[in-house]
Structure formats: C-alpha cells, structure tokens
Structure 1
Amino acid sequence: MKKRFTLVLLLISIFTVAQEKDKNTSEAYKKRVLESTEIDFLTSYYTQDGDNAAVTGGRGTEELTDFTPTVVVSIPLNDDDVLTIDASVSAYTSASSSNVDPFDGDPNVDASPFIASSGASRNDVLTTVSVNYSHSSDDRNKIWSANAAVANEYDYFSIGFGGSYTMLFNEKNTEFSVKANVFLDTWNAIYPTELRDDNNFIPFDDESRNSYSLGLGFSQILSKKLQGSLSVDVIRQDGLLSTPFQRVQFADVADRVVQQFTLGDDVERLPDTRFKIAAGGRLHYYLNEIVAIRTFYRYYTDDWGINSHTANIEVPIKITDKFTLYPSYRFYTQTAADYFAPFNQHLSTQQLYTSDYDLSDFNANQYGFGISYTDIFAKFHIWKFGLKNIDFRFRQYERNTGLKASLFSGGVSFIMD
C-alpha cells in the first residue's frame, strides 16, 4: 500500500503544460495558453497475483484488485494562467493486507498465507486531491507552476507541495526545466496481530516520513523528425521507511505456526534514510505521417544497494486521421537491496531486514497496447462539452518471481464551449 500510495503522489505531483507555436500570428496577438476549460474523465482497473506477499513474510498470496476513477479539470484563468484540479479515489481489495490479522475472518476456515482473510483490512480507499497553478510569460518562453496535494488512506496521510520552472529558447527548439517537490507523510502504524501484545516487540517510535525531490530536464529538437530529451531526478527520504505490517520470520528462531499460518518474529526494519538517483533519456523519431518511434531508457541507483535499468519502446501507428494504435514493450531489471532475504532466511542477530520482493533481485517484462480517438475540432457534443479524445490502454506485466499483473486504463477528454 505504501508503494502504491507513493507512486500515486509522485505521479500527481509532476505536471507539464504543453505550449503551441503559431508562426502565422502577429506579435500583437497573444495566443491563450488554454483556449477553454477542459475536463478529463479517467479510470483504471488493476489486478495482480503472485506467491510472495510481504505482509506474510515473503510467502503467500499477492492477489490484489484496484479501481481508480479520476477527474481532472483544467481552467484558463486568463490568457496566461491555468488552474488544474485533479481528484481521484482508489478503491482496492488486497488478499495480502487482509492477513495483517489472518484470524479475523471465517472461523470455519483455517488461517493460511495463501488464503485471504475476510476481515476488515482486506479493503481500503485512497483519496487524493491535487491543485496546480501555472503561469506563462507573454512570449510563451517561460513557464512556472506551483502545486499542492493531499492524500488520505486508513493508515496513512500525506501532504505535498512543490513547483517547476521551464524555459524555452532557440526559437522553442530547446527546453530546460527544473522541478522540486516535498511530501510530508504520517503513518498510523498498524502491526501484525500476533506482535501487538508481544512484550518483546519494539514498535516504531517515529511514524513520520519526509520525501524531497529535485528534477532537471533538457529537451532538444534535433531535426524535423528527431527529438531527444535528458532528465535527472534526485530524491531523499527520511523517517519511517519500513512498512509496519510486513512480517519477517527468522531462520534461527523456532517457527510459531497457528493452523496453517507462520507467525511473524518481527516486522521489516529498514534504514530511516534513503537517497535515490535516476537518470534517463528519450528519443522520439517521426518515421512518416503514419508511424513514429518513441524510445526511453533510465538508470536508477540508491544507497540501499538497488541498481536498475528500464528500457521502453512505443510505436504509435496512425491508421486514420483520428485513430491511432499504440503497441509498446518495457523491460526492467534490478539488483536486490542489501537488506532483502526470502521467507524465513533472515537471522535474529541482524538489525535491518525485509522479505518484500519489491526489493529483491528480479527482471520484468511489460507488454502494452492502446488505441485512441482524437478530434481537435471537437465536433461531437454532449450538452456544452465537445469530445476531444477517447483513449484506452492495456498492459500486461510479468516478473520472473511469478508476479503477474494486468492494467486496463481509459479516459475521455472534453472541451467546454
């Protein structure tokens, strides 16, 4: 839940305003950044399954489903300023998190790491609201923005704020950007049921977590058909970086088994600081009016021992003037964190440990396909709203650890007359 939450916040905190260049417009006329109010209705459905749940110590069901409807409203305040409001509700059911207390379900069913408990912890809702304000200079060569976000989950609360500055020069063929964000999070720590009354168990004394990020971006139009960009992101986190309800079992301590469930000897213990660096680049090549090629590569490293490589390719194929297909492929590989070991392989003499397979050594492949309909003139109307775009995407994700996931996402964009 922590990773999904952070991911959502990180995604909603980064905002880009696209600028259009009109060579036929005289200098006396200033084109509006956004001509009229736009409303996007987005939704996604995510499902996954695997056998390495961190909640039960690295062995157990990872079955999870998540449904997230989102509304994004972009409002032009005047020629130069745009206000964007983004609100989403993420409702999920998790078999693994239900086993925070594996004994609160059906009394006629034995507790097992591979069977979801029917208790209250199997469901939750994450609510997120973010606001972004952006201002463009008269010549449209400078753009600054400020953003704020708040998110709430049953065991987690976060506020975030930040801003960005973008400069275009060289007749808008070159762009440089800098962005910074801060997230201040607070846990309401919930521990595995068997440890709550254990006199030997030591709860976390600090339930806060702070994240600070700085990003630099550079893009260049290299030719009529080729565009490239580079980016660097630096992130520092401090505070409670462990997930309080994720168990660890020690190999040198006798297993305590109730029904079919191995109780935890402790929860995961991770450092209270983390430093991350990610550097990446993109190349977009427009082969012709029908086919384009978009490539992406990123290298990531942190002081927990994880190094990763991401490579992605997408080939938009314009089949008509309004319909485009989006086949894609993504490869990901990472090394394990220094503190990771599988189920029941840590030792009680260690100070830091986790059995979360998100921090393990693994490779992953993702296959994607999408289709979109775009009408820049928004001829089709529903009341006062013109239909601008319909988009549908599907992605299939597979790890060599056995985790498999599917993501269905779609959106409809309207322009208000």
Structure 2
Amino acid sequence: MLRITFAALFIFFQTLFSFAQHTNDSSRYTLRKLKLEEVNFVSSYYHQEGNNSAVTGGIGTEKLTDLGTTLDVKLSTYDSRKRKHTLIGEFGVDVYTSASSDKIDPYTISSASTSDVRVYPSITYSVTNDQKRTSYSIVGSVSTEYDYLSKGIGAGWSKLSKDKNREFAVKAQAFLDTWSVILPIELRSTNRRDKKEPRNSYSTSFTLSQIVSKRMQLLLLTDFAYQSGQLATLYHRTYFNNGSHQIENLPDQRFKFPVALRVHYFAGDRFILRSYYRYYQDSWGLQAHTFDIETPIKITPFFSLSPFYRYYTQQGVKYFAPYQEHSLDEVYYTSDYDLSTLSSQLMGMGIRLSPPGGILGISKANALELRYGHYTRSTGLTANTVAILIKIK
C-alpha cells in the first residue's frame, strides 16, 4: 500500500514537471507552483449506551466512546494543456474505549474499559480536463488498529455533458484487510498460535447526476459490492438453547446491492431541501431502507441553521437470533444486534458561520460548522455525537 501511495505522489510531481514547459522554448521548463486550495479540520465526539453486546452473546453493556480527528489538505495546479491536477492528503485518528471488549478476556483487563487507537491516512490524485469534460482519479489508503490492517486502492472516472447539466461517474475500490485472530478466553486452545485471517472487499459504484432546473438537482447512485474471507468477528460469542456457546459463525462471502436517490431543491434564497433515499439488500437476507432529510436555512448571509432527520429500518439477516435462541443444528449463527431486525432515528442540528473577516480574526478560516446528533435504536441503544469543522481556504 505504501508503494501505491508513493507511486501516486511520484506520478503527480512528474506530471507537474513534464507539463510545466515554457510555451516559447520547448527546451526550457518553468515550475508551476502548487496552490493550496483548501484545508479541512474535523473533530468529533461520540458516546453510546446499550445492553446488547455481541461480545457477550447479545446481552451486556455496549458502552463506547470515540474521539475522532481528521485533517485533509487539498493542493492543485494546472499544466500547459490547462488540465487541473489535484492532490488531496488526509490523515485521521480515532481514539476509542469499549467496555464490552473487556469481556473478551476479563482476567487480563484491570481498567473499567479497554481502549485502542485507529490511524487511517489516505491520498487522492486526480486530473480534470475541462475541454474534454472528463476527470479521472486514483486513491490509496491504509487503516490500522491493534487487531486489524486494511489496505485500499481505488480509481474513478467521470464525464460531463456538453451543457454541463449532467454527469456520469464510475468508481472502483478494493480493500485488502487482515484480522488478527482473537477468541474469547474460554474458547482458546492452549497450543494456539497467533494467526491472521483475510477479509477482502471489492465494489463498483455508478452515479448519474442531473440538473433538472435552476431549483432542482438529482443524483442516482448504485453499488455492486462483494466481500470474501473472515466475515464473522471471532471474539463475538453465540449462546445456544442448551446453554453452550461458540464463536460467531457467518458465511465467508457476501454480496451487497444498494441503490440511492438524492434530491436537492433550492426553495428561494434562504432555504434548501436536501432529501435522500437508499434501498439496500444483500445475500445474507438483510434488507434496509434509509430516509434522510436536511433543510439548511440561511438566517443571514453569514449564518445558517441545518436541522436534519434520518429514519432507518432493516429486516435482519437470516442467521441472527437473540441470546440462547440458536439451535445446535444451525450452520451459521450470530447474536450481533447490528444484523437484527431493527429501526433507528437520528435527529439533530447544524450551525454554520462564514463571516467575511474570517473565524476569530483569521481571514483564511472562512467557515466554522458545529453539528449535534441524537441517535436512538429500537433495540434500546442510544447515542450522542458532536462534531466541529473548520475550513481554511
């Protein structure tokens, strides 16, 4: 993955030099400076409470907190063909604590909860040709935590119509992941050696966006995704109706088929209606519907409010059953409530400031956004999240 990342950087800077020729003398080169277009800093805090932990077979605490921070930097330049080259680097860190993770091996944990750090850098390089109305991109990423390593690569292409009212885009991604095998303490073999299991994911997405009128924009999105490898989480317990228990067992393949529609409607100078619907189905039997609406309201030219609401409902996978309700003759089984039949609601508010003099007197800091969300689920899980975004441009 590092080879992919450095290759993208090499190609980018090589392109800058190769196309930065002086128009009057092909033997002379002029370095075209990189322009800092944008810097985004996002920090968020998330806390949840619940009593259906998969680690303990569908019962027990789901208490979890997460503090996440991401920083992305966008650089760009133009070559002699007037093509725009863009490089985006992103670095993210999540620090979280999970009380249920203590239950994997409670005899080795002395604190009230266990914690971990996830680090996930990525880099994206793209070239946009306004004359041909095309754009292509490549992205490389890495994500790592104590028991998991993910390496990702992707490529994309898009094409604008002649009137620039319609755009078609396609994107392909692959994530090659590795799990460290961690079993519940009582199910470990005394002669067990540390081993790793693969989990690979591949997806292709297609989007079609259309400007219907001055007030309305539509976007249609569909995905085809495939996963293979160790898809069950090996430290999740499953309890059977005779009192015995084993580790979660799920098929080693999964196909996913989501389709979504997004509609933006500009209702005058002060109101925007952003609506979203998504249908999802997979080969495990899970079916889901997502309805989302957000209505930014411009109070002044520099201050706006964005109330939002999301409703989600799903029919669970055919392999799910609650604590001690699985039978011994089942081949696949899980008591992870994320895969159960459920519904959830997320509601909250966003506040955006963009004063002409900048944020806190910093002229380049042209936007500050605060968002709060409250989440409830029919299984009893509740959560709250707060996020802050600072944009420098």
TM range (shorter): 0.7 to 0.9
In structure 2, how many angstroms separate the alpha carbons of the residues matched to 1:348 and 1:206? 27
**How far is the alpha carbon of 1:78 from its aligned partner?**
3.2
Match in the other structure for 2:371: 393
Asked whether the 8 Å contact 1:276–1:302 carries over to 2, the reply is yes
**How far is the alpha carbon of 1:376 from its aligned partner?**
7.3
In structure 1, how many angstroms separate the alpha carbons of the residues matched to 2:286 and 2:252? 16
Q: Map of 1:138-157 to 2, 5 A cutoff?
A: 138-139=130-131, 141-157=133-149
In structure 2, how many angstroms separate the alpha carbons of the residues matched to 1:298 and 1:312? 9
Q: 2:55 aligns to what SS in structure 1?
A: helix
Q: Map of 1:357-396 to 2, 5 A cutoff?
A: 357-374=337-354, 382=362, 386-396=364-374
- Decide whether aligned partners of structure 1 residues 140 and 287 sit closer, same or farther in structure 2, where only a CA change above 3 A counts: farther
Q: Map of 1:211-222 to 2, 5 A cutoff?
A: 211-222=201-212
**2:90 is the counterpart of 1:86:** yes
**2:217 is the counterpart of 1:239:** no
Select the structure that is richer in strand.
Answer: 2
Aligned counterpart in structure 2 of residue 210 of structure 1, from 181, 195, 200:
200
Deviations 1:148-185 (A, max 9, x none): 00011100001000011111114211111100100000
Deviations 1:209-260 (A, max 9, x none): 1100000000111111011110101110000000111111111245xxxxxx
Q: Map of 1:144-223 to 2, 5 A cutoff?
A: 144-197=136-189, 207-223=197-213
TM-score by length of 1: 0.81
Deviations 1:113-141 (A, max 9, x none): xxxx647xx10000000000011004272
In structure 2, how many angstroms separate the alpha carbons of the residues matched to 1:167 and 1:87? 29
Asked whether the 8 Å contact 1:380–1:386 carries over to 2, the reply is no
**2:304 is the counterpart of 1:314:** no
Match in the other structure for 1:56: 56
**How far is the alpha carbon of 1:379 from its aligned partner?**
8.7
In structure 2, how many angstroms separate the alpha carbons of the residues matched to 1:35 and 1:98? 48
Asked whether the 8 Å contact 1:329–1:366 carries over to 2, the reply is yes
Match in the other structure for 1:339: 319
**How far is the alpha carbon of 1:348 from its aligned partner?**
2.1
Deviations 1:310-340 (A, max 9, x none): 0011000001101111101100000010100
Asked whether the 8 Å contact 1:218–1:229 carries over to 2, the reply is yes
**How far is the alpha carbon of 1:36 from its aligned partner?**
3.3
Q: Structure 1 runs of 4+ off > 3 angstroms?
A: 34-37, 202-206, 375-382
Asked whether the 8 Å contact 2:359–2:368 carries over to 1, the reply is no
In structure 1, how many angstroms separate the alpha carbons of the residues matched to 2:273 and 2:39? 29
Paired residues in the alignment total 357
In structure 2, how many angstroms separate the alpha carbons of the residues matched to 1:164 and 1:203? 41
Asked whether the 8 Å contact 1:179–1:214 carries over to 2, the reply is yes
In structure 2, how many angstroms separate the alpha carbons of the residues matched to 1:296 and 1:376? 31
- Decide whether aligned partners of structure 1 residues 198 and 268 sit closer, same or farther in structure 2, where only a CA change above 3 A counts: farther
Q: Cα RMSD (Å) of the superposition?
A: 2.2
Match in the other structure for 1:402: 380
Q: 2:51 aligns to what SS in structure 1?
A: coil
TM-score by length of 2: 0.86
In structure 2, how many angstroms separate the alpha carbons of the residues matched to 1:311 and 1:170? 33
In structure 2, how many angstroms separate the alpha carbons of the residues matched to 1:128 and 1:316? 31
**How far is the alpha carbon of 1:375 from its aligned partner?**
5.0
In structure 1, how many angstroms separate the alpha carbons of the residues matched to 2:323 and 2:125? 47
Gaps of 5+ in 1: 1-31, 107-116, 255-264
Q: 1:36 corresponds to which letter in structure 2?
A: L
Q: Map of 1:105-120 to 2, 5 A cutoff?
A: 105-106=109-110, 118=112
**How far is the alpha carbon of 1:395 from its aligned partner?**
1.0
Q: 1:325 aligns to what SS in structure 2?
A: strand
**How far is the alpha carbon of 1:90 from its aligned partner?**
0.4
Q: 2:321 corresponds to which letter in structure 1?
A: A
**2:238 is the counterpart of 1:267:** no
**How far is the alpha carbon of 1:308 from its aligned partner?**
0.3
Match in the other structure for 1:226: 216
**How far is the alpha carbon of 1:203 from its aligned partner?**
10
Asked whether the 8 Å contact 1:268–1:353 carries over to 2, the reply is yes
Gaps of 5+ in 2: 1-31
Q: 1:84 corresponds to which letter in structure 2?
A: I
Q: 1:37 aligns to what SS in structure 2?
A: strand
